[in-house]
């Protein structure tokens, strides 16, 4: 994570929440399977798969956002290097 980036913080907050929900649903699904609750298994399977997709989408958003930070950092270094070179001439 990069310093003081509100979008990073929000993405990681959402990812943390999505992870907790996914794990909670997965645990409920496993428990329903142990008790052979077929109708509940079907419902929880759909919900668990949806939570997994949400978690995956957020993970991808985090990777893209962090990549944008890296690109910005490289551009800033290049700009400062070219500015420093211009001052020494």
Indicate yes or no: pTM above 0.85. Answer: no
56 lies in a domain? yes
Each of the 89 residues of the chain gets a pLDDT tens digit; together they read 456 689 999 999 999 999 999 999 999 999 999 999 999 999 999 999 999 999 999 999 999 998 888 877 766 677 676 666 555 54
85's enclosing H/E stretch is helix 38-87
Residues of the domain holding 59: 8-87
16 lies in a domain? yes
Let me know if 79 is exposed, middle or buried by CB neighbors in 10 A (0-12, 13-18, 19+). exposed
> How many domains in the chain?
1
2 lies in a domain? no
Q: Which two tokens stand for residue 19?
A: 């992870």
């Amino acid at each position: 994570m990069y310093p003081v980036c509100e979008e990073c913080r929000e993405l990681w907050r959402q990812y943390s929440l999505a992870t907790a929900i996914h794990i909670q649903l997965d645990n409920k699904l496993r428990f329903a399977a142990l008790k052979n609750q077929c109708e509940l298994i079907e419902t929880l399977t759909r919900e668990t798969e949806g939570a997994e997709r949400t978690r995956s989408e957020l993970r991808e958003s985090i990777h893209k956002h962090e990549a944008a930070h890296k690109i910005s950092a490289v551009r800033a270094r290049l700009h400062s290097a070219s500015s420093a070179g211009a001052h020494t001439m």
